[in-house]
Chains A and B, each alone.
Chain A
Amino acid sequence: MFDMISPQLVFGQLLIGLINGSFYAMLSMGLAIIFGLMNVVNFAHGAQYMLGAFAAWVLLNYLGVPYWPALFIVPVVVALFGILLERLVLKPLQNLDHLYGLLATYAVALIVEGLVRQRYGSTGLPYGSPIPGGVNLGFMFLPYYRLWVVVFSIVTCLGTWLLIEHTKLGAYLRAANERPDIVESFGINVPRMVTLTYGLGVGLAALSGVLAAPVYQVSPSMGSSIMIVIFAVVVIGGMGSIIGAIATGYMLGILEAMTKIIYPAGASTVIFVFMILALIIRPNGLFAGAGKS
């Protein structure tokens, strides 16, 4: 079996795994940040990611705004919608069982995805690569844009992690994850911090969406199909752990890719098998202790 697998195939698949893993990492990280502080699973995360991709597409095709400005504009705009959502829907629900917040974000996801599908149909829309072409490394062909995706996601994840673990702002967030009431008793406007943190998570999702547009097709269901994996990632990594989300995201992306090489039929289910095993062995998540469980 192994002599039929060419290095081209292996490295090609690995690259795909790394790309997928990059998106898994960034999206799970955003979800973990939101969950860590608010204890709400942002079911709208996939829809916000999809909105990011669609916004980039709309900007390009209706306003002629290309990829690079879109990379800055779109996350801010979608984050503003996220902030609106938090103020109007999530804040009033914050004192109830957190499952209501989860279901509310799910409802928003349904509405957003339905509206987008109603307007643009179910088939994917193309988005051209902003840096076409690539470099032939001999053992594989590396498209420039794919390289950009991997580098950008690593930088984003690292940057966010540094922000949270080593800055004053991050200290506020970490403390509020544990005891928001005490942090507020120091005179810090915690409600506003919650709103802005949700906005940050949403902005990260939208940013991932813009990044994803040239890679995957821009389609209304791109959010819900990736959410399934993201949830598995977050459950495995430990629900509020940033490091857990990042590491598990990349790990699962590569695991998926490797399975595709060795046992293609199992590629779509390997993540869930891994999740079930991880839950049996480490019910708190692989990186528990580094965040909420």
Chain B
Amino acid sequence: MNIRLLWFVLLAVILIAAPFFTYPVTLMTILCFVIFACSFNLLLGYTGLLCFGHAMFFGGAAYITGYILKTTHISLELALLGGVGAASLLGLLVGWISLRRSGIQFAMITFAIAQFIYFIMLQLPFTGGEDGMQGIPRTKLFGLLDASTSLEFYYVVLAITALSVALFYRIVHSPFGEILKAIRDNEPRVESLGFKPERYKLVAFVLSAGMAGLAGGLKATVYQFATLTDVSFPISSEVILMTLLGGLGTLTGPMVGAGLIILLNDYLSSFGEWALISQGVILLIVIIFFRRGLVGELNALMWKMRTRAGSKGSASTELASGSPGE
């Protein structure tokens, strides 16, 4: 317990001090994708649903939030809520259509619907089409706090991210979360116990969509523009990669994966296609050799070390809750 608290404090210190050492925009991008990755993890890692078009919630909310801000200049948090609401509604519709199937077919259906959304966004005038939606204002938070510089805004984004991760943690560790995990592991069993898996899956889907929407809306306010890329398949596949790289089924894995991939993209951005090529290579290596992901492998290593040492009372230093492969 003590060591855990120590890690927490260390992390908090790093996060608060970070913008003084590196570009706030990069950090904020990482934070947005941390939220996005958590939303995806809720669906895949904890409910066992592979959605192949998560960008539709991310990008869709980016446009909605941006549009709200541009046209109404409402305070920031309300605009973000608008994005979340729109994404959740979309999640309800998409979930209702696609959850009729499972496994690969569910993945394919979400993929196709996401492409549909992409083409719609391309054609709708309010999105700005290929040019994107530019000049999204950064209005005051709660109508009072002016956080227009990157540094100030970083702390706003950090706070929102911390709240989102806390919410994610609460959902996953609640009775609802336990049922989701049960559905992932053995859906027929859950049904035989009297629960209706379809309902839980839909709720999880809507929650995940809303959270992805928060990430997208936030990103729109960080960059102050929203583009078609936000709603495109590469973003959907990026979050899959982040989750696998970090560790499927772990709590913190996808967040770690998000950070790494954003940094990698940043580093390789001047090298043309190599960003995408290396994403492909990393994905392939992770799938073949490191299926448990970074955090998963780390967990497994520590588990092995602990059982070998045979220590009983020592504090747990696990990065994820529970045993490996939870």
Chain A residues at the B interface, C-beta cutoff of 8 Å = 39, 41, 89, 92-93, 96, 98-100, 102-104, 106-111, 113-115, 117-118, 224, 228, 231-232, 234-235, 239, 265, 268-269, 272-273, 275-276, 279-280, 283, 293
Contacts and interface: CB of A to CB of B under 8 A. Distances in A.
Q: Is the interface of B mostly helix, strand, loop or mixed?
A: helix
Contacts of A268: 119, 122-123
A117 B104 contact: no
A279 B94 CA distance: 12
A106 B120 CA distance: 25
A106 B237 contact: yes
Contact of A102 (B104, B122, B277, B291): B104
Residue in B123, B240, B273, B283 with the greatest tally of chain A CB atoms within 10 Å: B273
B108 interface: yes
SS of A interface (majority) = helix
A213 to B, nearest CB: 22
Closest 5 CB pairs of A and B: A110-B280, A272-B116, A114-B277, A111-B280, A107-B283
B283 A103 contact: yes
B156 to A, nearest CB: 34
Interface in B65-104: 97-98, 100-101, 103-104
Nearest to B271: A118
B244 to A, nearest CB: 7
A109 B100 CA distance: 29
Nearest to B272: A118
A98 B104 contact: yes
A107 B113 contact: no
B109 A235 contact: yes
Contact of A239 (B105, B233, B272): B105
Interface in B27-67: 50
A110 B108 contact: no
A226 to B, nearest CB: 12
25 contacts: A39-B104, A99-B50, A99-B104, A102-B104, A103-B240, A106-B283, A108-B284, A110-B277, A110-B283, A114-B276, A228-B111, A228-B112, A228-B115, A232-B112, A232-B115, A235-B112, A268-B119, A269-B116, A273-B116, A275-B112, A279-B97, A279-B98, A279-B101, A283-B100, A283-B101
Contacts of A98: 103-104
B158 interface: no
Given A115-B273, A272-B113, A235 B108 contact: yes
Contacts of B50: 99
A107 B284 contact: yes
A35 B281 CA distance: 24
B260 interface: no
Centre residue among A234, A235, A239, A265 by max chain B CB count within 10 A:
A235
A104 B116 contact: no
A115 B277 CA distance: 7
A99 B107 contact: yes
A89 B285 CA distance: 10
B277 A111 contact: yes
A293 B101 CA distance: 10
Contacts of A235: 105, 108-109, 112
A117 B283 CA distance: 19
Given A102-B104, A265-B123, A280-B97, A107 B280 contact: yes
Nearest to A224: B233
Contacts of A239: 104-105, 108
A114 B283 CA distance: 14
B287 A103 contact: yes
Given A93-B288, A231-B111, 10 more contacts: A89-B284, A98-B104, A104-B284, A107-B280, A107-B281, A107-B287, A109-B280, A239-B105, A269-B120, A275-B116
